[in-house]
Structure 1
Amino acid sequence: MNEIRPWRTIERRECRQIMVGKVPVGGGAPISVQTMTNTLTSDAKATIDQIRRCEDAGADIVRVSCPDVESTAALKEIVRAASVPIVADIHFHYKRALEAADAGAACLRINPGNIGSSERVAEVVRAAKANGCAIRIGVNAGSLEKDLLEKYAEPCPEALVESALDHIKLLQDHDFHEYKVAVKASDVFLAVAAYMQLAETVDCPLHLGITEAGGLIGGTVKSAIGMGNLLWAGIGDTIRVSLSAEPEEEVRVGYELLKSLGLRTRGVRVVSCPSCARQGFDVIRTVQALEDRLQHIKTPMSVSVLGCVVNGPGEARETDIGITGGGAGKHMVFLSGVTDHHVESERMLDHIVSLVEAKAAEIEAGTSVSMDTLHGKAA
């Protein structure tokens, strides 16, 4: 029920492709969704448990911080337990990068210019090549090099891009090309401008993010504005929504952002009204309950939840499954855009969940189930 029309099409920026473990990044591959753990990496069990929650939410790649030898020592167990590629976050100590590469990290997040001499950069590159590691260069407006701050007086798009190009050159000088780049800032205008400039300058994949975006609501809004602008312009090959929230929430928000632009289609897309006095049932509580109970559905589909018959039927015709509020506690159910039957208020929530589960099973099985069968299973 999600017909592609020309005015919905996003023409993505062309770039070369790299591999982060088994996940292709760039070169037309699906935009991958990343997050980062907030447990102590040295606590392998807690970190693995958190990674599994992120995997369940749909994370394609997960980053863990490796600030000390205890963290890199635990990394081998973490990598072995994870079903997604693990990125090791390294800041200044090049030996942590060597240890992480040997432990099986699929990617090293490191700025080559921050780890010291050319010899140290060469060591990291050799370790990355020997272990099949990619590298992510992560430029951040909050930690720009001192000489660039002196040159530009303050963080600006030109400073972020120059920093990125300096780090890229260090890798290219050692004949290393399996890298992606981020130029993040908490300021939406700064981040967007920097990414747009960088996108015209390099041919590598770009990792998008609005850093230190804030809490779940505020951070989601800032990230949607910043990354949404870039993604709409075709820029971005992998994303992380940086929230002061649990990592799995970052993943869910990332997918909602991509789904809104038609760039990924994982799970249920809910279309719902804001509710008003015309509603025939409690729309807000129904949507909250549906979103919670349908998190396990990975099959792409759309569900509409509309409180009344004013806009309800029109919206429901555009979704796979829809419910529109009616009178006397009986509500219209739409299947594949067609009015199919009614359901009472007390049965409505369980009924919609069952319909979605049945539709998901039908799609996954690749079979066509009749409306009567679908209706019968859900009743």
Structure 2
Amino acid sequence: MIVRKQTNGIMVGNVKIGDFAPVSIQSMITTDPVHIDKAIAEINRLADAGCEIVRVAVPNMDSAKALKTVKAGIHIPLIADIHFDYRLALEAIDNDVDALRINPGNIGGEDRVLAVIEKAKPKQIPIRIGVNAGSLPQHILSAYGGHPTADGMVETAIEHIRILEKLDYRQMKISIKATEVPLMVEAYQKLSAKVPYPLHLGVTEAGTITQGTIKSAMGIGALLLQGIGDTMRVSLTGDPIHEIEVAQGILSSLGLRNFGATMISCPTCGRCQVNLFDMAEIVEARLKTIKVPIKVAVMGCVVNGPGEAREADFGIAGGKGLGIIFRKGEVLKQVPEAELVDALFREIDDYLETLDKE
């Protein structure tokens, strides 16, 4: 059982982060918000897939001014990603964003940070302090041998945290990302031991869908297993819709969230006498429409299928020309191989109908 670390609770729009709230899923659109209709469409597509918080880059003042209209066209919290120009943060606040992502060290002196805090305070707009291994300040790099280290990343984060604390502002969450998984994990572990603030997890510049999925599952998953992390983004080079799918998969695999039906399947072996690959893909695709938390098994043979998948709510196991339908390890019936998938879903549909009647 995962025992989560307690952190301060904050609200990003209507989504609670920290204080044992469910780990939330965040993504980022590829569209400049100045292209209002396109930005709204992309955000709503991500929201439909399960994105709970969305971040947008705000490169200039026109982009900041467009945020109000974008915000009016969506139904999930909107975070403005600000770098270098504190005036963009001020404008974003005036245009109804739910939170800011800033680096207090790159928007100017403390007077400029103070200007942002003074405008954010009345609306209780949270700020995410984002530290990346690839952009640590020179004095930190020099102090730690000229290259990024976990201790250097933590020191950078704490320097930025102290700026906001000095201004009596604690509505913050922190990220401390690296592209190398061991460095990222070590940095988050050390920061988690030092601060009470909610942590946003991610492996930065993780790569393409395949490589990025592996690195994110390893890094984010390792931390979540230790109870560290309150919100997350799987950063992938590709359609951000995949970020949501992978994030849901990570949380589901750890038992931290439930996003509907899940499938388990065996890796096949010499005993398999059915087209297991196609069968598994068909079942997985059909399960995507089911939001009830059931577990379905697709097994390659009847020798071990029901036993190995005893905890599955429903399952199928192939044979030579025939297969079985089973539930919780108990065989329900035997059917021709060509009818296995349809027969499985008839059993599932019957079960779902009984739930609707309760």
After TM superposition, the structure 1 stretch with the greater mean CA deviation from structure 2, 146-155 or 353-362, is 353-362
Residue number in structure 2 paired with 1:184 = 177
Match status 1:244 vs 2:234 = no
Match of 2:298 among 275, 287, 305: 305
Shift, 1:357, TM fit: 5.3
- Tell me which residue corresponds to 1:370: none
Distance (Å, rounded) in 2 between the aligned partners of 1:44 and 1:350? 44
Matched, 1:335 2:327: yes
In the alignment, the residues of structure 2 paired with residue 132 and residue 343 of structure 1 have an alpha-carbon distance, to the nearest angstrom, of: 60
Q: CA deviation at 1:361?
A: 5.8
Cα 1:164/1:357, change in 2 over 3 Å: farther
Residues 1:131 and 2:120 are matched in the alignment: no
Aligned pairs (5 A) from 1:129-208: 129-152=121-144, 153-208=146-201
1:169-223 CA-partner distances (Å, limit 9, x unpaired): 1111111111000100001111111001001000010111111111111111111
- Offset at residue 55 of structure 1 (A): 1.4
Deviations 1:267-300 (A, max 9, x none): 2221011123422432222222333333333332
Q: Write the distance in 2 (CA, Å) between the matches of 1:60 and 1:10.
A: 22
- Cα distance in 1, alignment partners of residues 351 and 120 from structure 2: 44
Whole-angstrom distance in 1 between the partners of 2:260 and 2:153: 36
SS of residue in 2 equivalent to 1:13 = coil
Structure 1 contact 316–323 (Cα < 8 Å) conserved: no
Decide whether the 8 Å contact of 1:331 with 1:344 is kept in 2: yes
By how many angstroms is 1:36 displaced? Answer: 0.9
Q: Which residue of 1 aligns with 2:224?
A: 231
Write the deviation string for residues 136-189 of structure 1: whole angstroms up to 9, x where unpaired: 111001111122122221110111101110111111111111100010000111
Equivalent position of 2:80 in the other structure: 88
Counterpart code for 1:230? L
1:100 aligned to which of 92, 98, 101:
92
Q: What amino acid does structure 1 have at the position aligned with 2:64?
A: T
SS at match of 2:307: helix
Structure 2 Cα separation of the partners of residues 32 and 114 of structure 1: 27
For residues 353 and 128 of structure 2, the distance between their equivalents in structure 1, rounded to whole angstroms, comes to 38
Q: Does 1:74 align with 2:91?
A: no
Is the CA contact (8 Å cut-off) linking 1:156 and 1:190 kept in structure 2?
yes
For 1:180 and 1:26, the matched residues in 2 are separated by 9
Query: 1:358, CA displacement in angstroms?
Result: 5.4
Q: Structure 1: which 5+ residue stretches go unaligned? A: 1-8, 368-379
Bigger CA drift: 200-209 or 113-122? Answer: 113-122
Q: Which residue of 1 aligns with 2:247?
A: 254
Alignment CA distance shift 1:291-1:90 (3 Å): farther
Corresponding residue to 1:287 among 280, 297, 304: 280
| RMSD, aligned CA | 1.8
Task: Tell me, yes or no, if the aligned pair for 1:274 and 1:284 is still in contact at 8 Å.
Answer: no
In structure 2, C-alpha distance between the alignment counterparts of 1:48 and 1:352, rounded to whole Å: 39
- Is the counterpart of residue 20 in structure 1 residue 12 in structure 2? yes
1:350 Cα deviation after fit: 4.1
Equivalent runs, 1:270-281 vs 2, <5 Å = 270-281=263-274
SS at match of 2:105: helix
Q: Which residue of 2 is the match for residue 375 of structure 1?
A: none
TM-score by length of 1: 0.89
2:268 aligned with 1:314, yes or no?
A: no
8 Å CA contact 1:316, 1:324 repeated in 2:
no
- Report the identity percentage: 44
SS in 2 for 1:244: coil
8 Å contact 2:274–2:320 — kept in the other structure?
no
From 22, 38, 53, give the equivalent of 1:61.
53
Aligned residue for 1:113, secondary structure, equals coil
Structure 2 CA distance for aligned equivalents of residues 55 and 350 of structure 1: 31
State the shift of 1:351 in Å. Answer: 4.3
